[in-house]
Amino acid sequence: MRIRLLDIAHARSGDKGDTANVGVIALEPRWYEVLDQFVTRKRVADHFEGMIEGDVERYELPNLNALNFLLHGALDGGGTLSLKTDAQGKVYSTALLRMMIDVPDADAMRLQLPAAK
Amino acid sequence: MKKVVRVAAGQGFWGDDLDAPRRQVDGGPIDYLMLDYLAEVTMSILQKQKERDSSLGYARDFVGAVESVLPAVLDRGVKVIANAGGVNPPACAAAVMSATEKSGARGRLRIGVVTGDDLLSGLDDLMSQGHALANMETGEPLSTVLDRVLSANAYIGSEPIVEALKGGANIVITGRSTDTALTMAPLRYEFDWAAKSWDQLAAGIVAGHIIECGAQCSGGNCLYDWRSIPDLANVGYPLVEVRADGSFVVTKHPNTGGRVSVPTITEQLVYEMGDPHSYITPDVVADFTTIRLAQDGENRVLVSGIKGKPPTDKLKVSVAYRAGFKAVGTLVYAWPDALEKAQLADRVLRERLDRLGLKFEQILSEFVGATATHGSLAGDQRAAPEVQLRFGVRGPDRAAVERFTREIAPLVLNGPPSVTGFAGGRPKVEEIVAYWPALIDKSVVKPRVDIIQ
């Protein structure tokens, strides 16, 4: 089943220099396993290809049902040097929530995941 | 010893809601009011102000904030802790003293002034002693920009603030202390947490991290269920009720808007997060993967389980340096084919800048309403009702940037059609003060505490 990340997670993002971070949080604790399994470092790097210049790092926070991604080279130099509208990476959060993931039907049924409209 | 210590946040950055400090002391019982004024670029702005007038260089909003909460400080014993001192904490303290004298505060205020974070005057010595202050992101030594440095401050921890409180201060003013130290210090002071009580200290850091951005943990900027968050016009700023074991409840005063829930707190916990296993501060390294959250009644979240480990022997240093000039201009193009028209305008403008022989380090054009924030992820925007071309340049030559600002307006008559939204006039040239993060040995930074009254 095709799932849109926006329908199973919320997120907040911020900056540290030229790096944006995106914390992605499962809307239901039981959906954390879906984030953990399908929102991989590689998937996120592919999602943002062309938008960021550096690597992606991923950290797990099962205690908060959350993943934290660091997007390096995401802010056109960052801080006051950046000419971007989103120089502080505030809305990389919702950009990540655009991601579509394909979850096996059995898992989607078991976890009562909402199908993408 | 108090069983519960209440620390309320009344300011998340310089420019935050001016009335929030007063609402925090009037809305219910609190012991400490914590005000965070300093973002990364703030120190350099303050340094520029101090260069023009040696009695400035601090967050002037703080003086009004103290006046607005003075009865609570004098009559109820609420203590105020703020990093409002910027690059001139003594001047900030003097301004507070003089503004409050007429309000019956004479002899009743004891202001703790924390200094020693300012490394600017000793920078040459530090470099000649072998402290490279290399950029944490690029590895370059500071010597490459040394002649353009405006300010240099070490992020200092909670100890000098604790010392000021022990000295009887009811207001503590710091320069570049860490944001989290402003919350941690009163907890260490009240509960007498030892320097190696890593778990309690880590809890203090997490409490500080949660409330240091003001209402951003209590319903502000919250994506989760945002439509249902009540009364943001009267949003309640957060406070923490902390126990001696380090567990604490995040809440807000009754009869305020906003929300404190597990989702609102979680969003703030991940804000500006790096490696969650190691949130590094001068006092302790906190492990955010150990935090437990639980709803504890309406608008109350219990935070517990936090583990910490010893800090490193370095302090972070924030250096600000002049990094050239920039300007950003905008024009709005309307349907039909708004995006295509804006894209043509972008090409025309680039060609004209090229013909003028203007050189920039960076040219960035964005299409607001189409791809500015989400890039190609936003999908096909050719049908957009309007698109704003947002065109920015940056470079070392002020004259080139100035010349660029004159190239936007002509496009209204000599560029693509359906253009509007140029009433704001010519873009302004701005000097860039950039931020240079570095590390320095803790042993060379000597915080100092003075009590004035």
Cβ atoms of residues B134 and B141 within 8 Å: yes
Interface of A with B in 25-64 (CB under 8 A): 25, 27, 47, 50-51, 59-64
- DSSP state for residue A79 in the 8-state scheme: T
Chain B residues lying within 8 Å of A85, measured CB to CB: 366, 368, 372-373, 390
Question: Could you tell me how far CA B391 lies from the centroid of its own chain?
Answer: 27
pLDDT of residue B47: 87
Nearest beta carbon to residue B272 from set A21, A25, A60: A21
pLDDT of residue B118: 95
CB contact under 8 A, A95 and B375: yes
pLDDT of residue B1: 81
Q: Which residue of A has its CA nearest to B137?
A: A17
CB contact under 8 A, B274 and A16: yes
Q: What tens digit of pLDDT does each residue of A8-26 get? A: 999 999 999 999 999 999 9
Chain B residues lying within 8 Å of A70, measured CB to CB: 274
CB contact under 8 A, B272 and A95: no
| Residue B399 distance to chain A (closest CA, Å) | 18
Which stretches in chain A have pLDDT values below 70?
none
Question: Could you tell me how far CA B102 lies from the centroid of its own chain?
Answer: 32
| Residue A33 distance to chain B (closest CA, Å) | 16
| Residue A107 distance to chain B (closest CA, Å) | 24
| Residue B435 distance to chain A (closest CA, Å) | 7
Nearest beta carbon to residue A85 from set B293, B368, B393: B368
CB contact under 8 A, A63 and B273: no
Chains A, B: CB pairs < 8 Å: 122
Mutate to test the interface with B, among A80, A94, A98 (most CBs of B within 10 A): A80
Q: Does A18 touch chain B (CB under 8 A)?
A: yes
CB contact under 8 A, A59 and B291: no
CB contact under 8 A, B328 and A83: yes
Which amino acid type is present at position B75? D
Q: What tens digit of pLDDT does each residue of B345-398 get? A: 999 999 999 999 999 999 999 999 999 999 999 999 999 999 999 999 999 999
pLDDT of residue B195: 87
Vertex B74: Cα angle to B70 and B78 (nearest 5) = 80
pLDDT of residue B41: 74
* pTM across the whole model: 0.96
User: What are residue A89's phi and psi, to 5 degrees?
Assistant: 65, 25
Q: Does A86 touch chain B (CB under 8 A)?
A: yes
| Residue B289 distance to chain A (closest CA, Å) | 5
Cβ atoms of residues B15 and A54 within 8 Å: no
pLDDT of residue B2: 87
CB contact under 8 A, B274 and A83: no
Which stretches in chain B have pLDDT values below 50?
none
- DSSP state for residue A52 in the 8-state scheme: B
